[in-house]
Amino acid sequence: MISKQPAETLYIQMKQDIRDNKLPLGTALKQEQLSNQYGVSRIPIRDVLQRLKNEGWLITSGKRGAMVNPLNATEAEDLYLIRSHLEPLILGYAMTHLNHQIMGKATDILEQLEEPGLTIQTHGELNWQFHGVLYQAANRPTLFNNINNLHQLCSRYIGFQNMELNYQKNSQKEHYQLLSALQKKQLGQAQQILKQHISQAGQKLVAYLNNQM
């Protein structure tokens, strides 16, 4: 797949612009203004706005228009809290289906994560790929989708999560520990590592966000 629908490009662009604070935070976004800004009609704008709203990037207050959803320590805390409960759960279902191919795929991704010079964004994507590969094995589409949505919501925050260089090293260590426990078929331990892994990331993020404000 090479070319994309215009609206898809617009969606990616607007998301990026929210990440980069290109879109004003306090003021309501007008459809016509966005329409001019991005060079498309209001129809695809409306579609994308609805999508971004559903994914937590924007908040709407009736007919007063859409506003960029500000970063919020409480929201981050909840998102990571939910993840820390659901991801060990799906890992439990995945366990029995984990074969060498999947474990190999996961290891490959971990190695890619070691490569220097990764952008924060690709780092975040690879990170989710690692977790996702393991979770897919559970064969639980609904549970998986729910977790996937949470990651989407978290993706607004990952830029900050990786601020501490030290954190990345720690995170990688935990990833390998997780794989190791899975290889030994120690489910309980694997779940514990995973839960800790997520909770810690959440705590660091919340602490950082609280200091910012």
Contacts to a second copy by CB under 8 A = 43, 46-47, 50-51, 54, 74-75, 78-79, 81-82, 85-86, 89, 140-143, 146, 150
47 is an interface residue for DNA by CB under 7 A = yes
Q: What angle do CA 54, 130, 150 make, to 5 degrees?
A: 20
Residues 162, 123 contacting (CB under 8 angstroms): yes
> Based on CB atoms, which residue is closest to a second copy, 50 or 183?
50
Question: Cβ 201 to a second copy, closest distance in Å?
Answer: 16
DSSP state of 68: E
Angle at 115 between CA 112 and CA 121, to 5 degrees: 75
Question: What are residue 14's phi and psi, to 5 degrees?
Answer: -65, -40
Minimum Å gap between C-beta 14 and DNA is 13
Q: Which one, of 161, 16, 153, 49, lies nearest residue 145 by Cα?
A: 153
- Binder of DNA out of 18, 28, 102, 143 (CB under 7 A): 28
Q: Does 103 bind DNA (CB under 7 A)?
A: no
Q: How far apart are CA 91 and CA 82, in angstroms?
A: 14
Please count the residues of this chain forming the interface with DNA, following the rule CB under 7 A: 22
Which residues form the interface with DNA (CB under 7 A)?
3, 5-7, 28-32, 39-44, 46-47, 62-66
